Chain A
Amino acid sequence: MIELSPQFAVFLMFSLMLLGLLVGHPLAFVLGGVGAMVGFVGWGPGALFMMVSRTYSTLNNQILIAIPLFVLMAVFLEKSGIAEGLFTAMMHLFGKLRGGVALTVTILSVVFAATTGVVGASVVSMSLMSIPVMMKYKYDKQLAAGVVISGGTLGILIPPSIMLILMADQSGQSVGRLFAGAFIPGVLLGTLYFMYVLILALLHPERAPALTDKQKGEVNKMQLIRMLLINFIPPILLILGVLGTIWLGVATPTEASGVGAFIAFMLMIVYGKFSWKTLFISLKQALVTNAMVMATIIGASIFTGVFLGLGGGDVVTEIILSMEGFGKWGIFAMMMFIIFILGFLIDWIGIIFISFPIFLPIANEIGFDPTWFVVILAINLQMSFLTPPVGYSLFYLKGSVDPKVINLGQIYRGIIPFVFLQMIGLLLCILFPSTVTFMANLVG
């Protein structure tokens, strides 16, 4: 065992982590490995034993059960083909409008964001569905990339979101309150994207053209209404059912997620998409997503346990409190800045584990509303998903599109206007806390 000064421990842990991440090793193992290494050297094996035993309670945590179940719900819903049906229907509806396809992507993202709660899933499925269509009709590539990434990323913010579930677990607040608090900010961001695309399409029709009747094919009004109803009603009912029962306190998040998954499963059968093979593929897909999230949770909890144990928390607190001269908003700005910077490196799981135990007591101390504060962090975190160079959403899109169609440079440039829109959204929620607290207080 070697005596490590807290400052040195912070430096060591972050530089080792950075090294591991930049060479492309999985986040879960980097976090766990660095925690183990530094913990073993600076703290001794006893600490590691303690942390492994803590993993056991993480593994059968009652709140986290909602994570695999919401993932399952999203996968079943995706396989039911409702999203594709809705996409086609809305394309006919908005097709004659300039930027119609991009607008469809944005609306669809808001609706389906509420059913996924996993960034990777929503960005990938949205991109597979809409990028080929937008390319076919000569949409601007940067705009196409921007709407898909920004819309798909809303999935992590608009409830039910697994990020908010983990945040509830780590902050001791109820899942229902956080779900309610994040609702308006999520819809607000979606509205900003929608207006941006609308205005852009008016000013630059060549970047987001309207479709002619010949391009979108003929569909009469009755058929269109039927398509819309068939594909719009089920997801809306599912969302309202899941969120409503949690908000009204009728169901726990675990129950709601289980029933939600079950209903999505039934939809898959009703829409004629069930086969044993599809079910098997869905389950395996959900298994991988769940394992990825949980492995990172485990790694992050070891990293954070060691980080806090070696005094890293005090070092960060000191940095934050150095802004005390600027009042509580100085401290607030510093915390937001740290989250934003961390967002370049590690994903939301790591950030929640590292920042919550340090930030929440400070926020409490200076009198911020706890629900508001956590939701603001959530908005900031989802922004970090799409800020270049390291935004996970950017890579999800890159992974699902041929680089000859849209390359990384175009993705980077395409997302910039949306990052600004997010900053506006974040600022609005900071200036008008009622955007968050109004719904949260309704839930109680």
Chain B
Amino acid sequence: MTGLKKILIYCEKLIEWTGSIVCWLLMALMGLAVFEVITRRFLGSPTIWTFELSGFLLAAITVLSLAYTQLHYGHVNIDFLYDRLSRRGKAIIDIITFFPFYLLYCLIFIYFGGRYAAESWAIREAAPTAWNPVIYPIKALIPLGAALLLLIGIVQLIRNIVIAIKGEEL
């Protein structure tokens, strides 16, 4: 059991670490918006890339923080019935609902998102704009983010299974 526990903690640390890194991109996004205002409004010389880069940042911030948010149970839910259950009851419900909802949400983005990114990657797709940036790495972030989300979901699933069986936290 201690081996399993170590692996779970290691995975949680990995996800915590992604959040610690990705959150700084918010500062970059803010900086970029300010930079855009200065160059466009005050210096009168807008750049061709800030606009698109902000979009890429939003995509990266969002998909890479889904798992971190789940780690801290930050995804909004309705808990007025759920809260009345015992810890064990919650664990059992979480195990059941994992498959039709959570798992499916992840798998769709891993499978179809993966195919979508692969198609883009195969042709080294670039945006048809003046800046003309490559966009396949951004598209590849979708299945990556979903895989991280699945990882933390499985970690929590295993913890819940242990609680459901043994009645106590691992």
Contacts and interface: CB of A to CB of B under 8 A. Distances in A.
Contacts of B74: 288-289, 291-292
Contacts of A295: 62, 66, 69, 75
Q: Majority SS of interface residues in chain A? A: helix
B102 A60 contact: no
Interface string A331-357: 000000000000000010000000000
Contact of A24 (B31, B32, B81): B81
A29 B142 contact: no
Interface in B1-46: 19-20, 22-24, 26-27, 29-34, 36-37, 41
The interface size bin for chain B is 35 or more
Contact of B68 (A21, A64, A287): A287
A290 interface: yes
Nearest to B79: A24
Contacts of B29: 65, 68-69, 258
Given A29-B105, A65-B54, A72-B30, A290 B116 contact: no
Interface in A248-295: 250-251, 254-255, 257-259, 261-262, 265, 280, 283-284, 286-292, 294-295
B160 interface: no
Contacts of B103: 33
Nearest to B153: A29
B112 A288 contact: no
Contacts of B101: 20, 25-26, 29-30, 32-34
Contacts of B94: 25
Contacts of B22: 287
Q: Majority SS of interface residues in chain B? A: helix
A49 B115 contact: yes
A286 B32 contact: no
Nearest to A299: B105
Interface of B: 19-20, 22-24, 26-27, 29-34, 36-37, 41, 51-52, 54-59, 61-63, 65-66, 68-70, 72, 74-83, 90, 93-94, 96-97, 100-105, 108-109, 112-113, 115-116, 138-139, 142
Interface of A: 16, 20-30, 32-34, 36-37, 45, 48-49, 51-53, 55-56, 59-62, 64-65, 68-69, 72, 120, 250-251, 254-255, 257-259, 261-262, 265, 280, 283-284, 286-292, 294-296, 299, 302, 347, 389-390, 392, 395, 408
25 contacts: A23-B82, A23-B97, A24-B83, A25-B77, A27-B75, A28-B75, A29-B75, A29-B101, A33-B104, A48-B112, A51-B112, A59-B55, A65-B29, A250-B41, A262-B34, A280-B20, A280-B23, A284-B23, A287-B65, A287-B69, A290-B61, A295-B66, A295-B75, A296-B76, A395-B79
